[in-house]
Structure 1
Amino acid sequence: MPSSDRRSMRRSLHGLRRTAGYLKPHLRAERTLLFGGSAALFAEVAMRLLEPWPLKFVLDGVIAASGARIGLDAPDNLPMVLVLACVALLVIVTLRAVAAYLMTLCFALAGNRLLTAMREQVYAHLQTLSMAFHDNARTGDLVTRVTSDVGRLKEVGVTAALPLLGNVITMVTMLGVVAVLDWQLALVMLAVLPLFVLTGARLSRKITGVSRTQRKAEGALASLAAETLAAMRVVQSYSLEDRMQAAFASNNVKTLKDGVKAKKLSAGLERRTDVLVGIATAGVLYLGATRVLAGALTPGELVVFLTYLKAAFKPMRDLAKYTGRIAQAAASGERLVDLLEERPRVVNQQWARSARPFLGDIQFTDVWLSYTTGHPVLRGLNLRIRAGERVAVVGPSGAGKSSVAMLLSRLRDPDYGQVRIDGHDLRDLTMESVRPQIAIVLQESLLFAMSIRENIAHGACDVTDEEIERAARLAGAHEFITALPDGYDTVVGERGATLSGGQRQRIAIARAAVRDAPIVVLDEAMTGLDQDTEQEVLAAMDRLTDGRTTIVITHDLAAAQNADRVIWIDGGLATDHGPPSQVLSRHAGEPGVISGPHRRDPREAYRAVRR
């Protein structure tokens, strides 16, 4: 066997073992159904074994009766034998049908429950993975793993693997019965098995390799489609339709070629299996007929042998038929296990405790943070923000400003140094108790494709309609929400695309307000708004942050004018801090920040709204 084939086989077996390891806990939960299905399976196998025997008695009886016409003795009870054989056949077929129905029902229900539970496990695990993973992962590929890969496992497990298991048990038991009745015919039946194993193993490895490549290509195709659809405004604005179509067509053709190659290999395995089964059948027929003529077998026993031969080799046909689908399922299982074996980098430590309500005193001590190994974004950042203070974190793009918000919410942990709130290192506190006490309003106000009421309610757990409306009023959103056709029950488009930028931002502010958090982070929350909308949003933010520790992250100097203090970050370090008028005047001309006259002073906007 070539070394590449051996590596492929080892990889496939290792992948199946890994997948089975993650399925075991779910299998234990379904042991009642699996036990019932197994009992029905063995009952169905027993009925298969019994099914040819009534035919044997009838056939031998009829032949004996034919012999009576030429002077041989005929059985006296032939009519009774015929009636009993027909009744027995009807009972056996009925019992087999019932057993097969119960087996299919139990295994299908167990398989669907098992893989539904696995899909939930994969989805839940995805939400625990840190931003370090999600920043580098492709969304379309992850969606394919949660939906298509789990669905493929479910399809093959129910329609192929479980019936194949029953057929294998049938083959083993039938070969055992045949060996007891006539070992010579059993040897003829067994002679083709080594040929099938050799042929099937070689082609199965090739099919598995092609299927693995195909699943990866399908994941890449889904990612490309998801990215294109999510950025349709950019695609159409820059006339990128032809370029995106060409990239999609190229990936699509690749998946087509891989699929055709896998199907071609699978079809070749099926036809070779048919030839091997035909060879075995011809051998049994010839040898069995000679033994009947020699008087070693009756014609009825030969019919039993041929019936057993057809049923015993059905697993070989099924394995050839389902090899491609099983290989795809194995590849899907590997992709799921690869995902489940990803470990979150931000986790609760064993000693972590729940945080008490924060006052809002924040301190960064010698904090280093890298998104890519060897390229730190923060390089020993030190800063202190007092409880209730409004601080603007300003600096050029790429200086590390948004990293401050990620560290505060424990979306990432520092490589070195400490982030403390009220004197407690955040790594000593549970994430579940820290994150609800920090409200963040981002530059991109992402909304979910659900009602406005639900979008606002996502800010906190168990909020009432009164609290939702109060938060909307604080955000200045109540008036435009009630003017919509369905008010708070209006369903917005995906990512809130059916609303204007200012409307999305005010709903995001309401979502932050309903949290009632002692710490508020505004991360470039004013970018992209026109002056009229900016007035409304500024006023809403003023109400949101009143009396709370507030961090305004911006590269727009005008947005920092109303802060109590400005901290200038450049190159991952806090290089300057002080009153806004002093710090901003020192850095007004630096590249990478906005300070031109086209921006309206936010203090004027506040005064206009208040008047």
Structure 2
Amino acid sequence: MASRAEMFRSGARLFARLAPRLRRERAGIAAAGVAMAIEVGLRLVEPWPVKFVLDAVSGDERWRQSLPWLASWDPGRAVVVLALAIPAVAGLRAMAGYHQSVGFAVVGNRVLTDLRAELFAHLQGLALAYHRRARRGDLLVRVIGDVGMLKEAVVTALLPLCVSGFVFVSMLAVLTWMEPRLGLLAIAVTPLLALLTVRIGGDIHATSKRLRTREGAMASAAAESLGAVESVQGLALEGVFRSAFGRANEKGFREGVRGKRLAARLERSVDVVAATGVAAVAAHGAQLVIGGVLTPGDLYVAISYLRRALRPAKDFAKHSARLARAAAAADRVLDVLDEPGAESIASGDADAAGVRGRLELDGVATGHEDGPLLVQGLSLRLEPGEHLAIVGPTGVGKTTLLGLLPRLAEPRRGSVRLDGLDLRAYALDALRARIAFVPQQPVLFAGTLEANVAIGLEHATREDVEAAVERAGARAFVDGLADGLDTEVGERGETLSAGQRQLVALCRAAMRRPAVLLLDEPTAALDAPSARVVAAAIERLADGVTTLLVTHDPALAATCDRVLRLAHGR
């Protein structure tokens, strides 16, 4: 019962999330809805030409009362006209069906494409603590696979089922109007169909949710192994990661087979119940034909309506596994969207464009999320252009302290001010635009060197990039590359050395002309010659810029105006 309730809850959550987007698409939905109404109307009409043909050839003259304009025609000519009406109605219905299918598909694809864009943007804004807990492969599955599964299910299963549901109600209503006893027989099987659908469908949803979790684990294992393939090969860990991937793969296989079995069971059960309903209507309808209450054509219409009306249940059984996987995928997507993101970070609207870089920390205490405090009671003041080295043993909170400035983390106690204003008074994007952060392991992106330096700055010119290279003291490095700024750096900058990647990160910082420069162990992973080059670049870049430098290098710390030593939380 819990899994069935969960499946309906998943649908309700998704609809609530998509409702604003659906309202924006109301014109497209209305147009597709009109086409759907026309198609359903033509489906109701479709069996009637055949009915009149059957009545005419069986010798039952009641068809002439229904078609007075053909009453004076001989049966042969009337049958020809009625036969021609069959493909005409089918053709019109096909046209209406095409427009409603395409219309709903466009709406569904557009809405879910927007949802994927929102999910990706939301992931980018989530706190670093969330990303440290999450597995990257699983997040990729949610962005690409889960939203893709939603799109497929909505377009190929859910929307057709909505149309089928409209047909179901319409045909049962007309059938009941034609002959109430047959209508009641048809309606009698629907509770059993609903029970089967809800009962087995809930089990399919639970299985599908476990399957999506297994697939996320597989993606994470693959991403982890391939992302560190050099270490995996160097340490001969291929077997370890193959085993981890294989275990997740095997569990996914078992869940997939279980889901297929449940779907097949539902589909076959629905077939039997639907056939029982058709048999009951056929048997009772035949008695009514023999008794002269109905014509043979009436019985044909009744059976046609019933078979078509029961198709939604068959369609649901056919698409049950896909819909259950989509419900599970919706849960996984919405779980991420429900995480508080950047929009939940309290911020003001103060403009940071003119800040000079005066920093004040007043009684600051900070640490990792839900962990012990690493820094307590820290107070200091930096004037614009002043340089501060932060030193101390590993794990005392040096990098965590840097993260307070761009608000990658929040102080547990105390406040941080920039030019006299609490950081929370500034608009978050405006604040971060005035702070350049160079991490210990800078990340480059696939593309040219120029694109990596200017990334995020839409109006940056080639001349701006050249000037940033000069300010960062990286001219010799760039000129030493065969293609200069047009050099392709590869994914994560793998074609460059660690020192070269650090220089690119410094050029990137120079492009932003920051008021505050944050450097986290910029020379830690470099050999002595590369470290000297990077140190010289830092000296040029930090000139006149308020700088906080985390380092274990005494020589680099000595270049700063002041040194802050952290130990034992102080």
Normalised to the residue count of structure 1, the TM-score between the two structures is: 0.89
Q: Within 2, Cα distance between the matches of 1:98 and 1:310? A: 22
- Check conservation: 1:407, 1:413, Cα contact below 8 A: yes
Q: Within 2, Cα distance between the matches of 1:58 and 1:9? A: 47
- Whether 1:162 and 2:162 are equivalent positions in the alignment is no
**How far is the alpha carbon of 1:55 from its aligned partner?**
0.6
Aligned to 2:64: none
Q: Within 1, Cα distance between the matches of 2:269 and 2:98? A: 31
**How far is the alpha carbon of 1:485 from its aligned partner?**
4.7
* Closer/same/farther in 2, CA of residues 301 and 397 from structure 1, 3 Å limit: same
- For 1:22-41, what aligned pairs fall within 5 Å after superposition? 22-41=17-36
Give the secondary-structure state (helix, strand or coil) at the position aligned to 2:566: strand
Aligned to 2:200: 203
Task: Give the partner amino acid of 1:321.
Answer: K
Task: Give the partner amino acid of 2:551.
Answer: T
Q: Deviations over 1:462-504 (max 9, x none)?
A: 2211010111233343444345454323322211111111111
- Whether 1:506 and 2:492 are equivalent positions in the alignment is no
* Closer/same/farther in 2, CA of residues 60 and 215 from structure 1, 3 Å limit: same
Task: Give the partner amino acid of 2:488.
Answer: V
- Check conservation: 1:150, 1:332, Cα contact below 8 A: yes
Q: Deviations over 1:524-560 (max 9, x none)?
A: 0001111222222121111111121121101232331
- Whether 1:481 and 2:448 are equivalent positions in the alignment is no
Aligned to 2:298: 301
Aligned to 2:521: 524
Aligned to 2:55: 60
**How far is the alpha carbon of 1:99 from its aligned partner?**
0.3
Give the secondary-structure state (helix, strand or coil) at the position aligned to 2:447: coil
* Closer/same/farther in 2, CA of residues 437 and 351 from structure 1, 3 Å limit: closer
- Check conservation: 1:346, 1:410, Cα contact below 8 A: no
**How far is the alpha carbon of 1:348 from its aligned partner?**
5.2
**How far is the alpha carbon of 1:222 from its aligned partner?**
1.4
- For 1:2-81, what aligned pairs fall within 5 Å after superposition? 5=1, 7-64=2-59, 77-81=74-78
- Which runs of 5 or more structure 1 residues have no equivalent in the other structure? 67-73, 574-611
**How far is the alpha carbon of 1:454 from its aligned partner?**
1.1
- Check conservation: 2:368, 2:400, Cα contact below 8 A: no
Q: Within 2, Cα distance between the matches of 1:416 and 1:40? A: 61
- Whether 1:422 and 2:419 are equivalent positions in the alignment is yes
**How far is the alpha carbon of 1:517 from its aligned partner?**
0.9
* Closer/same/farther in 2, CA of residues 291 and 75 from structure 1, 3 Å limit: farther
**How far is the alpha carbon of 1:243 from its aligned partner?**
0.4
* Closer/same/farther in 2, CA of residues 347 and 272 from structure 1, 3 Å limit: closer
- Check conservation: 1:346, 1:411, Cα contact below 8 A: no
* Closer/same/farther in 2, CA of residues 45 and 355 from structure 1, 3 Å limit: same
Q: After superposing the two structures, state which structure 1 stretch, 550-559 or 112-121, moved more.
A: 550-559
Q: Deviations over 1:152-192 (max 9, x none)?
A: 11101000011111111111111111111112222222222
Q: Within 2, Cα distance between the matches of 1:447 and 1:345? A: 23
Q: Within 1, Cα distance between the matches of 2:77 and 2:278? A: 33
* Closer/same/farther in 2, CA of residues 442 and 262 from structure 1, 3 Å limit: same
- Whether 1:186 and 2:183 are equivalent positions in the alignment is yes
Q: Deviations over 1:306-361 (max 9, x none)?
A: 11121111111101011111111111111111111111378553644222522222
Task: Give the partner amino acid of 1:165.
Answer: C
Q: Within 1, Cα distance between the matches of 2:391 and 2:489? A: 33
Q: Within 2, Cα distance between the matches of 1:482 and 1:93? A: 71
- Check conservation: 2:367, 2:397, Cα contact below 8 A: no
User: Which one of 117, 135, 140 corresponds to residue 138 of structure 1?
Assistant: 135
- Check conservation: 2:520, 2:551, Cα contact below 8 A: yes
User: Which one of 320, 326, 348 corresponds to residue 323 of structure 2?
Assistant: 326
Give the secondary-structure state (helix, strand or coil) at the position aligned to 1:14: helix
Task: Give the partner amino acid of 2:441.
Answer: E
- For 1:429-508, what aligned pairs fall within 5 Å after superposition? 429-458=426-455, 460-508=457-505
Task: Give the partner amino acid of 1:243.
Answer: V
Aligned to 2:84: 87
Q: Within 2, Cα distance between the matches of 1:12 and 1:382? A: 52
**How far is the alpha carbon of 1:460 from its aligned partner?**
4.1
User: Which one of 545, 549, 552 corresponds to residue 552 of structure 1?
Assistant: 549
Aligned to 1:257: 254
* Closer/same/farther in 2, CA of residues 92 and 197 from structure 1, 3 Å limit: same
Q: Within 1, Cα distance between the matches of 2:96 and 2:343? A: 51
Q: Deviations over 1:540-583 (max 9, x none)?
A: 1111111211211012323312222211111232xxxxxxxxxx
**How far is the alpha carbon of 1:93 from its aligned partner?**
0.8
- Which has the higher relative contact order, 1 or 2, with Cα contacts under 8 A spaced 6 or more apart? 2
Q: After superposing the two structures, state which structure 1 stretch, 19-28 or 344-353, moved more.
A: 344-353
**How far is the alpha carbon of 1:427 from its aligned partner?**
1.3
* Closer/same/farther in 2, CA of residues 65 and 441 from structure 1, 3 Å limit: closer
Q: Within 1, Cα distance between the matches of 2:347 and 2:526? A: 44
**How far is the alpha carbon of 1:123 from its aligned partner?**
1.2
Aligned to 2:68: none
Q: Within 1, Cα distance between the matches of 2:428 and 2:194? A: 53
Q: After superposing the two structures, state which structure 1 stretch, 85-94 or 458-467, moved more.
A: 458-467
Q: After superposing the two structures, state which structure 1 stretch, 49-58 or 369-378, moved more.
A: 369-378
- Whether 1:365 and 2:362 are equivalent positions in the alignment is yes
* Closer/same/farther in 2, CA of residues 459 and 397 from structure 1, 3 Å limit: farther
- Check conservation: 2:129, 2:369, Cα contact below 8 A: no
Q: Deviations over 1:509-530 (max 9, x none)?
A: 1001111112211110001111
Give the secondary-structure state (helix, strand or coil) at the position aligned to 2:518: strand
Normalised to the residue count of structure 2, the TM-score between the two structures is: 0.95
Give the secondary-structure state (helix, strand or coil) at the position aligned to 1:408: coil
Give the secondary-structure state (helix, strand or coil) at the position aligned to 1:162: helix
Q: Within 1, Cα distance between the matches of 2:369 and 2:402? A: 18
Aligned to 2:288: 291
**How far is the alpha carbon of 1:150 from its aligned partner?**
0.8
